[in-house]
Amino acid sequence: MIKSLFEQLDGTYHEENGYFIPDLRLPAEEELPIGIWGQRHLDYLKQYRKVTYTNLLTSGRLNVYLADIDRQAQKRFERLIEGMKQAQGITERLKEENAIEWTGRLNNIRACAREIVNEEIIQM
């Protein structure tokens, strides 16, 4: 009997209600923690880059890829915040003298840094 291409590639079947169903499984993937940046990029891939998402998922590299994106984005976010704090003169002294102003300015910096990271890394 002639083997199908699926069988030639070592594919197997199982019988269900008289039908032979191919045994399709995704490759095992290393489980790494994925933070907020990785989750945002995952949502972006699912919505706007479906082919890339599918390729990463079926090759078993999605989790590692998202963990790497998360790490890169978090480093960039932290560097941006520190740089903006220095450029705007936001210090611990300001925090002691006027906590409300310090909080407002720091929140503004965090929002700006979040937008930059979204544009540079998350939505690439």
Give CA–CA dist 51/122, Å, rounded.
16
**CA distances (Å), origin 109, targets 21, 24, 35, 101:** 55, 48, 20, 12
pLDDT digits (tens, 9 = 90+) for 60-89: 899 999 999 999 999 999 999 999 999 999
Number of domains in the chain: 1
Give CA–CA dist 19/15, Å, rounded.
5
DSSP string over 56-69 = HHHHT-HHHHHHHH
pTM higher than 0.85 for the full model?
A: no
pLDDT digits (tens, 9 = 90+) for 95-109: 999 999 999 999 999
Give CA–CA dist 65/76, Å, rounded.
17
Type of residue at 121: I
Residues above pLDDT 70, as percent of the chain: 97
Give CA–CA dist 108/115, Å, rounded.
11
Note whether 35 and 70 are within 8 A (CB).
Answer: yes
The residue range of the domain holding 52 is 5-122
